[in-house]
């Protein structure tokens, strides 16, 4: 069975993780006002999480004999120092991540690799948790 569709979808997810790393690092540096105390650390933790997700996706690509992308998704990153705008951008990014991984999971099921499925499902749940957390933060 060809796994080219899965490889393509994984590379799409990887490109978004690479973009997330750049976005959250930027926001961690630029967030201003009283919320900086908490959000700078929060965004930094998101950088770490995205690095871990990228590593899971890259490992999956290696296992499937695919070539992992090295460029981030080209969707522009909004420059701002307003925490509310940052959280809105984060919400959009995390929602796209949920969509991307929900597209990947059925493709992994087709390939029939349960180890791969488990590792990517963990990432999918992380993204879902982020969306829910951001929804609460934006209330």
User: Residues interacting with Fe ion, by CB under 5 A?
Assistant: 50, 53, 94, 97, 127, 130
Category of 120 on φ-ψ map: left (φ > 0), alpha (ψ -120 to 50) or beta: alpha
Q: What does the chain come to in residues? A: 139
Question: Cβ 127 to Fe ion, closest distance in Å?
Answer: 5
Question: Cβ 119 to Fe ion, closest distance in Å?
Answer: 13
Q: Which residue has the tokens 């991307």?
A: 100
Sign of CA dihedral 130, 6, 51, 81: negative
Nearer to Fe ion, 43 or 83 (CB): 43
Cβ-closest position to Fe ion: 53
Question: Cβ 98 to Fe ion, closest distance in Å?
Answer: 9
Nearer to Fe ion, 33 or 89 (CB): 89
Question: Cβ 1 to Fe ion, closest distance in Å?
Answer: 27
Beta-carbon contacts of residue 121 (< 8 Å; ≥ 6 apart): 105
Nearer to Fe ion, 89 or 127 (CB): 127
The Cα diameter of the chain in Å comes to 54
Nearer to Fe ion, 7 or 14 (CB): 14
Which H or E run includes 102? helix 83-111
């Amino acid at each position: 069975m060809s796994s080219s569709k899965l490889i393509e979808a994984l590379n799409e997810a990887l490109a978004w993780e690479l973009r997330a790393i750049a976005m959250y690092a930027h926001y961690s540096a630029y967030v201003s006002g009283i919320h900086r105390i908490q959000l700078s650390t929060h965004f930094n933790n998101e950088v770490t999480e995205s690095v871990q997700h990228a590593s899971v996706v890259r490992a999956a690509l290696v296992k499937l004999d695919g070539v992992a992308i090295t460029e981030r998704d080209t969707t522009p990153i909004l420059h701002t120092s307003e925490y509310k705008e940052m959280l809105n951008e984060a919400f959009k990014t995390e929602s796209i991540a949920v969509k991307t991984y929900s597209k990947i999971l059925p493709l992994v099921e087709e390939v029939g690799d349960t180890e791969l499925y488990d590792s990517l499902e963990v990432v999918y749940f992380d993204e879902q948790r982020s969306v829910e957390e951001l929804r609460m933060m934006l209330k």
